[in-house]
């Protein structure tokens, strides 16, 4: 497998979860190497459109091979997809896919600095055109800040000892390479889960911090739902508990908003209404997929559908049985599910954001 190869995880399941309409408009907010985008395009009809985003310049370069006129690729983090849609004149979409986390090409390319398997510059940025590198963060951050990042984003129980060692080491010779970081952490972390490198959690934590991965996700989820047409679907693939916790809680709260205490006189029409309904249970890779691609073993796919005319949501506690969220069941075709949309045009590659 080449350095630039990336195997899309839960490919068939994610595309099926979007329930693609032939003339629909969809967003692949994490293009990567285009595996999910190709599958979405294969499911779309001639009138359908796909808008893809990625913050990684290498992913944008890989996307230059896509010549499908239904496809538009933009260099931007997925938290900016609202602005991307505005610039393209798109009011609503029929589905959004998020495949969260680091890609195999990013891990397998030494100069990206995301893996302890290589001795390389300690970069870790997904967008190499901007932002602070991991080396720059470690050079200027306080011990308490480094400890917080490693503890909160790596769930590392040795965070205090690691942060203390890193601060001491940087005063002597600096920490600018992955090999240095991995060696320093390994000297502090004496015990680790079988088969796991001692620096695994620290590398994860620094990467998440440098790229603001959890903040990006938290910002994007409500924006994605807001842009969905009624009946449109949000599908999210996450790879570790920190991400999945955010996705699970967001979908749960959007499907089951907090209700007033029992006994408080509130009309059913005034109760907080669900904005999505959950679609099925969480899906995980099959044993065969894990055997073929061990990196996918922790992946989980969660799906939610926007509630609206003709789309029933969960019944809020206290509302009459049989009453849908908008008060009545309405038949709704594709024309009713989306507002007027300006044609997107052919495939284009954006610059440094929009």
Q: Is the pLDDT of residue 354 over 60?
A: no
Q: What is the DSSP annotation of 270-284?
A: GSPPPSEEE-S--B-
Q: Does one domain contain both 91 and 240?
A: yes
Q: Does one domain contain both 120 and 192?
A: yes
Helix locations, 33-100, DSSP H? 35-43, 57-62, 81-88
Per-residue confidence (pLDDT) for residue 162, from 0 to 100: 98
Structure tokens of 103?
């890609």
Structure tokens of 70?
């239904």
- CA separation for the pair 284, 289 (Å, rounded): 10
User: Residue 164 domain-assigned?
Assistant: yes
Q: Is the pLDDT of residue 125 over 80?
A: yes
Per-residue confidence (pLDDT) for residue 313, from 0 to 100: 59
Q: Is the pLDDT of residue 346 over 50?
A: no
Q: What is the tens place of the pLDDT at every residue in 105-119?
A: 999 999 999 999 999
**Where is average pLDDT lowest: 144-153, 180-189, 218-227, 305-314?**
305-314
Per-residue confidence (pLDDT) for residue 261, from 0 to 100: 82
**Contacts for 15-20: CB closer than 8 Å, 24+ residues apart:** 15/39, 15/40, 15/43, 17/233, 17/235, 17/279, 17/280, 17/283, 17/301, 17/303, 18/94, 18/95, 18/97, 18/233, 18/235, 19/95, 19/233, 20/44, 20/48, 20/94, 20/95
User: Residue 120 domain-assigned?
Assistant: yes
Percentage of residues in the chain having pLDDT higher than 90:
75
Packing angle, helices 143-154 and 159-173, rounded to 10: 130
Q: Does one domain contain both 221 and 100?
A: yes
Q: What is the DSSP annotation of 12-42?
A: HHHHHHTT--TT-EEEES--TTSHHHHHHHH
Q: Does one domain contain both 163 and 38?
A: no
- CA separation for the pair 11, 15 (Å, rounded): 6
Structure tokens of 31?
């293009």
User: Residue 229 domain-assigned?
Assistant: yes
- CA separation for the pair 72, 63 (Å, rounded): 10
Per-residue confidence (pLDDT) for residue 259, from 0 to 100: 79
Q: Which residues pair with 236 in a beta bridge?
A: 98, 302
Q: For the chain, how far is it from start to end, CA to CA, in angstroms?
A: 34
Structure tokens of 256?
């089951």
Residue scoring higher pLDDT (236 or 269): 236
Q: What is the tens place of the pLDDT at every residue in 193-230?
A: 788 899 999 999 999 999 999 999 999 999 999 999 99
Please give the tally of structural domains in the chain: 2
**Where is average pLDDT lowest: 173-177, 278-282, 311-315, 320-324?**
320-324
Q: What is the mean pLDDT of residues 278-296?
A: 94
Q: Does one domain contain both 185 and 254?
A: no
Answer for the pair 97, 37: CB distance below 8 angstroms, yes or no: no
Report residue 351's pLDDT band, with 50, 70 and 90 as the boundaries. Answer: very low
Please give the mean pLDDT across all residues of the chain.
87
CATH at residue 49: 3.40.50.150
Per-residue confidence (pLDDT) for residue 323, from 0 to 100: 34
Residue with structure tokens 């059913």? 268
Per-residue confidence (pLDDT) for residue 265, from 0 to 100: 81
Per-residue confidence (pLDDT) for residue 190, from 0 to 100: 82
Residues whose CB is less than 8 angstroms from the CB of residue 122 and which lie 6 or more positions away in sequence, other chains included: 113, 133, 134, 135, 138, 175, 176, 177, 178, 180, 181
Domain boundary among 150, 179, 213: 213
- CA separation for the pair 40, 48 (Å, rounded): 10
Per-residue confidence (pLDDT) for residue 337, from 0 to 100: 41
Ramachandran quadrant class, 328 (left: phi over 0; alpha: psi -120 to 50; beta: rest): beta
Q: What is the mean pLDDT of residues 156-171?
A: 96
Q: The domain containing residue 291 runs over which residues?
A: 11-104+215-259+268-313
Q: What is the mean pLDDT of residues 286-304?
A: 94
Percentage of residues in the chain having pLDDT higher than 70:
86
Answer for the pair 181, 199: CB distance below 8 angstroms, yes or no: yes
Q: Is the pLDDT of residue 93 over 80?
A: yes
- CA separation for the pair 331, 311 (Å, rounded): 9
**Contacts for 282-291: CB closer than 8 Å, 24+ residues apart:** 282/248, 283/10, 283/13, 283/17, 285/9, 285/10, 289/9, 289/10
User: Residue 151 domain-assigned?
Assistant: yes
User: Residue 302 domain-assigned?
Assistant: yes
Q: What is the mean pLDDT of residues 155-172?
A: 95
Q: Does one domain contain both 221 and 201?
A: no
Answer for the pair 46, 40: CB distance below 8 angstroms, yes or no: no
């Amino acid at each position: 497998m080449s350095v630039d190869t990336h195997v899309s995880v839960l490919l068939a399941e994610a595309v099926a979860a979007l329930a693609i309409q032939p003339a629909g408009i969809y967003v692949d907010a994490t293009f990567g190497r285009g595996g999910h985008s190709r599958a979405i395009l294969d499911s779309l009809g001639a009138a359908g459109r796909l808008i893809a985003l990625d913050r990684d310049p290498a992913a944008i370069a890989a996307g230059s091979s896509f010549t499908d006129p239904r496809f538009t690729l933009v260099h931007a983090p997925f938290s900016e997809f609202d602005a991307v849609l505005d610039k393209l004149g798109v009011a609503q979409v029929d589905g959004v896919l998020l495949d969260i986390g680091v890609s195999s090409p990013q891990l397998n390319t030494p100069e990206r600095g995301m893996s302890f398997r290589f001795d390389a510059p300690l970069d870790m940025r997904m967008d190499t055109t901007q932002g602070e590198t991991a080396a720059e963060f470690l050079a200027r951050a306080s011990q308490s800040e480094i400890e917080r990042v490693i503890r909160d984003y790596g769930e590392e129980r040795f965070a205090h000892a690691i942060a203390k060692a890193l601060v001491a080491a940087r005063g002597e010779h600096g920490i600018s390479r992955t090999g240095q970081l991995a060696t320093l952490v390994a000297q502090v972390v004496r015990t680790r889960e079988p088969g796991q490198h001692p620096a695994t959690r620290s590398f994860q934590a620094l990467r998440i911090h440098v790229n603001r991965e959890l903040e990006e996700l938290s910002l994007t989820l409500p924006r994605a739902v807001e842009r969905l047409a009624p009946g449109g679907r949000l599908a999210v693939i996450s790879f570790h508990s920190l991400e999945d916790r955010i996705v699970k809680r967001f979908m749960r709260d959007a499907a089951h908003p907090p209700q007033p205490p029992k006994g408080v006189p509130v009309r059913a029409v005034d109760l907080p209404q669900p904005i999505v309904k959950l679609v099925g249970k969480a899906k995980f890779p099959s044993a065969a997929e894990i055997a073929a691609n061990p990196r996918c073993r922790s992946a989980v796919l969660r799906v939610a559908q926007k509630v609206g005319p003709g789309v029933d949501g969960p019944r809020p506690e206290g509302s009459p049985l049989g009453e849908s969220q908008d008060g009545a069941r309405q038949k709704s075709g594709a024309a009713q599910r989306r507002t007027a949309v300006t044609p997107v045009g052919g495939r284009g590659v954006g610059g440094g954001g929009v």
